Structure 1
Amino acid sequence: MNTKKLIAAGLPMIAVTYGLSRFSYGLMLPYINETIHMNQTTSGFISSLSYIAYCIAIILAMTLSNKVSPRSILVVAGLSSIIGLGTISISSTPVVLGLGIFLAGMSTGFSSPPYANIVSTSVEARLQNQANSWINSGTSIGTAFTGAIAIIMTDSWRETYLTFMIIAILVLIINYKVLPKHQTLEKKVTAGYSKEEWRHSIQLIVASLLIGISCSAYWTFSKDFMLNLDSVPTYLGEGFWVIIGVSGLLGGTAGVFINKFGLKRAYRISIIALSTASLILGIYPDNHIMGFLSPVLFGSSYIFMTGVLIVWGISVFKTNPSFGLGVPFLILALGQAIGSIFSGVIADILGYDVLFVGSSIIGYITLLFKQKSRLQ
Structure 2
Amino acid sequence: MVAGAGLIAVTYGVARFGFGLQLTQLAAEFSLTPGTSGLIASGSFAAYCVTALLARRVIERRGGRRALWLAAALAAAGAVVVSLAWTAPVLALGILVAGSAAGAASPALVAAVSTTTPRELVARRQAVVNAGTGIGVAAAGVVALFGPQTWRPVWIAAAVAALLTAAVVDRRTTWPPRPGDDHDPGQDPAAAPAGAATGEDGTRRPLLRPVLAAALAGLGSAAVWTFGRDLLTTVGQLPGRTTATLWVLLGATAVLGALSGDAVRVLGMRWAWWLTVALSAISTGVLALAAGDVVAAGIAVVVFGGSYTALSGVLITWAGALRPHSAGAATATLFIALTAGQAAGSLLTGGLGAVLGPRAAFLVCSAVLVSAAVVPPHRPRAGRR
TM-score by length of 2: 0.90
Report the CA distance between 1:14 and its aligned residue. Answer: 0.7
Matched, 1:132 2:126: yes
Matched, 1:310 2:316: yes
Contact persistence 2:3–2:166 (CA under 8 A):
no
Deviations 1:48-85 (A, max 9, x none): 11111110111111111122232222112111101100
Contact persistence 2:112–2:182 (CA under 8 A):
no
1:119 alignment partner AA: V
Instruction: Call closer, same or farther: CA 1:176–1:337 in 2, change over 3 Å.
Output: same
Task: Name 1:63's counterpart in structure 2.
Answer: 57
Instruction: Call closer, same or farther: CA 1:76–1:206 in 2, change over 3 Å.
Output: same
Contact persistence 1:192–1:323 (CA under 8 A):
no
Which of 270-279 and 117-126 deviates more? 117-126
Report the CA distance between 1:367 and its aligned residue. Answer: 2.2
Report the CA distance between 1:13 and its aligned residue. Answer: 0.7
Task: Name 1:157's counterpart in structure 2.
Answer: 151
Contact persistence 2:13–2:134 (CA under 8 A):
yes
Matched, 1:361 2:355: no
Aligned ranges for residues 163-202 of structure 1 at < 5 Å?
163-180=157-174, 183-186=177-180, 194-202=200-208
Instruction: Call closer, same or farther: CA 1:130–1:28 in 2, change over 3 Å.
Output: same
Matched, 1:243 2:249: yes
Task: Name 1:93's counterpart in structure 2.
Answer: 87
State the alpha-carbon separation in 2 of the partners of residues 242 and 199 from structure 1: 40
State the alpha-carbon separation in 1 of the partners of residues 200 and 170 from structure 2: 34
State the alpha-carbon separation in 2 of the partners of residues 269 and 236 from structure 1: 28
State the alpha-carbon separation in 1 of the partners of residues 8 and 294 from structure 2: 31
Matched, 1:142 2:148: no
Task: Name 2:96's counterpart in structure 1.
Answer: 102
Task: Name 1:253's counterpart in structure 2.
Answer: 259
Report the CA distance between 1:164 and its aligned residue. Answer: 2.3
Deviations 1:111-164 (A, max 9, x none): 111222222222222111101101100111111111112222222222322232
Matched, 1:321 2:315: no
The DSSP-based 3-state class of the residue aligned with 2:325 is coil
Aligned ranges for residues 211-222 of structure 1 at < 5 Å?
211-222=217-228
2:115 to 121, 124, 127: 121
Which of 119-128 and 166-175 deviates more? 166-175
1:284 to 275, 279, 290: 290
State the alpha-carbon separation in 2 of the partners of residues 186 and 210 from structure 1: 29
Count, aligned residues = 369
Contact persistence 1:236–1:292 (CA under 8 A):
no
Report the CA distance between 1:97 and its aligned residue. Answer: 1.2
Task: Name 1:339's counterpart in structure 2.
Answer: 345
Deviations 1:149-201 (A, max 9, x none): 22222222223222322333332333343334674334699966634432222
Contact persistence 2:14–2:137 (CA under 8 A):
yes
Instruction: Call closer, same or farther: CA 1:285–1:179 in 2, change over 3 Å.
Output: same
State the alpha-carbon separation in 1 of the partners of residues 182 and 169 from structure 2: 27
State the alpha-carbon separation in 2 of the partners of residues 177 and 309 from structure 1: 27
Task: Name 1:262's counterpart in structure 2.
Answer: 268
Report the CA distance between 1:374 and its aligned residue. Answer: 6.5
1:142 alignment partner AA: G
Contact persistence 1:71–1:180 (CA under 8 A):
no
Deviations 1:306-326 (A, max 9, x none): 001111111112221112211
Instruction: Call closer, same or farther: CA 1:193–1:95 in 2, change over 3 Å.
Output: farther
Which of 16-25 and 155-164 deviates more? 155-164
Matched, 1:27 2:21: yes
1:349 to 334, 347, 355: 355
The DSSP-based 3-state class of the residue aligned with 2:101 is helix
Instruction: Call closer, same or farther: CA 1:127–1:333 in 2, change over 3 Å.
Output: same
2:323 alignment partner AA: F
Instruction: Call closer, same or farther: CA 1:230–1:132 in 2, change over 3 Å.
Output: closer
State the alpha-carbon separation in 2 of the partners of residues 319 and 171 from structure 1: 26
Deviations 1:324-350 (A, max 9, x none): 211110100100011111211111111
TM-score by length of 1: 0.93
1:269 alignment partner AA: L
Instruction: Call closer, same or farther: CA 1:186–1:57 in 2, change over 3 Å.
Output: closer
1:135 alignment partner AA: V
Structure 2 unmatched runs, 5+: 184-188, 190-196
Which of 127-136 and 112-121 deviates more? 112-121
1:72 alignment partner AA: R
Structure 1 unmatched runs, 5+: 1-6
Task: Name 1:4's counterpart in structure 2.
Answer: none
The DSSP-based 3-state class of the residue aligned with 1:92 is coil
The DSSP-based 3-state class of the residue aligned with 2:149 is coil
Contact persistence 2:62–2:180 (CA under 8 A):
no
Task: Name 2:194's counterpart in structure 1.
Answer: none
State the alpha-carbon separation in 2 of the partners of residues 153 and 36 from structure 1: 18
Task: Name 2:192's counterpart in structure 1.
Answer: none
State the alpha-carbon separation in 2 of the partners of residues 185 and 162 from structure 1: 33
State the alpha-carbon separation in 2 of the partners of residues 48 and 256 from structure 1: 32
1:17 to 11, 24, 27: 11
Contact persistence 2:263–2:272 (CA under 8 A):
yes
Which of 195-204 and 170-179 deviates more? 170-179
Report the CA distance between 1:232 and its aligned residue. Answer: 2.7
State the alpha-carbon separation in 2 of the partners of residues 332 and 205 from structure 1: 8
Report the CA distance between 1:46 and its aligned residue. Answer: 0.3
